[in-house]
């Protein structure tokens, strides 16, 4: 694993230079905001929350920059739907922290089988608590259960086949928009296949 520590303002620009072009991109757990870091011909957006899927269907209907396919499916379902080497790249942005670590590690291995070019992960650095006791998420939908954090990730959770780019201070606001007393970092893990 290569590890590069960066200041917050340099994290995204550095990662953008590392993301490889893709014609078919699988965006797992995209919520209501699909990735927009790289332009693709086809972007498959997957989310387990039906309210997010319905929102995506409305918001992406007029977007003519690429073809969207929207699926109502969780990560575990998604990896069973796609045959080996069937998509160029897979993005998991703010996804792995929502699963128990053992389950996420297992799903990462399965995800590696369906990608041809690259896998990109973004997650908080370490465990960043996030709960929605009333079941409502930050957007007022019923996705609170899906938005709970169940694991924390550090650079050494990724083996030598991954490149990790991290910032020790990144998240300064919590899921409800309140300022955090102690900021949390963030990391990108990128695996080029």
Spatial neighbors of 125 by CB under 8 A, at least 6 apart, are 153, 154, 166, 167, 168, 170, 184, 185, 186, 187
Sorted by where each starts, the structural domains of the chain and their CATH numbers stand as 2-192 (3.40.50.150)
Question: Would you state the structure tokens that stand for residue 140, as one six-digit string?
Answer: 């007022």
Spatial neighbors of 111 by CB under 8 A, at least 6 apart, are 28, 75, 79, 90, 92, 119
**Computed over its alpha carbons, how large is the radius of gyration of the chain?**
16
> What does pTM read for this prediction?
0.95
Per DSSP, the three-state class of 2 is strand
Q: Note down pLDDT in tens along the chain; length 193 residues.
A: 799 999 999 999 999 999 999 999 999 999 999 999 999 999 999 999 999 999 999 999 988 889 999 999 999 999 999 999 999 999 999 999 999 999 999 999 999 999 999 999 999 999 999 988 888 888 888 887 889 999 999 999 999 999 999 999 999 998 878 899 999 999 999 999 9
Distance CA 68, CA 59 (A): 11
Nearest to 91, CA basis, from 2, 4, 24: 24
Spatial neighbors of 14 by CB under 8 A, at least 6 apart, are 4, 6, 165
């Amino acid at each position: 694993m290569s590890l590069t520590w960066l200041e917050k303002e340099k994290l995204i620009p550095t990662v953008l230079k590392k993301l490889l072009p893709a014609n078919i991109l699988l965006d797992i757990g995209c919520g209501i905001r699909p990735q927009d870091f790289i332009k693709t011909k086809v972007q498959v957006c997957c989310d387990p929350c039906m309210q997010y899927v319905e929102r995506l269907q409305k918001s992406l209907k007029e977007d003519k920059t690429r073809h969207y396919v929207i699926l109502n499916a969780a990560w575990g379902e998604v990896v069973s739907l796609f045959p080996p080497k069937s998509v160029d790249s897979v993005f998991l942005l703010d996804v792995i922290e929502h699963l128990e670590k053992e389950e996420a590690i297992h799903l990462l291995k399965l995800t590696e089988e369906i990608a041809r070019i690259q896998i990109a992960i973004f997650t908080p650095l370490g465990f960043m608590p996030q709960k929605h006791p009333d079941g409502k998420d930050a957007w007022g939908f019923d996705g609170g259960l899906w938005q709970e954090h169940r694991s924390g990730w550090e650079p050494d959770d990724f083996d030598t086949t991954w490149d990790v780019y991290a910032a020790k201070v990144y998240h300064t606001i919590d899921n409800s928009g309140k300022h955090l007393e102690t900021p949390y970092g963030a990391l990108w893990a990128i695996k080029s296949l």
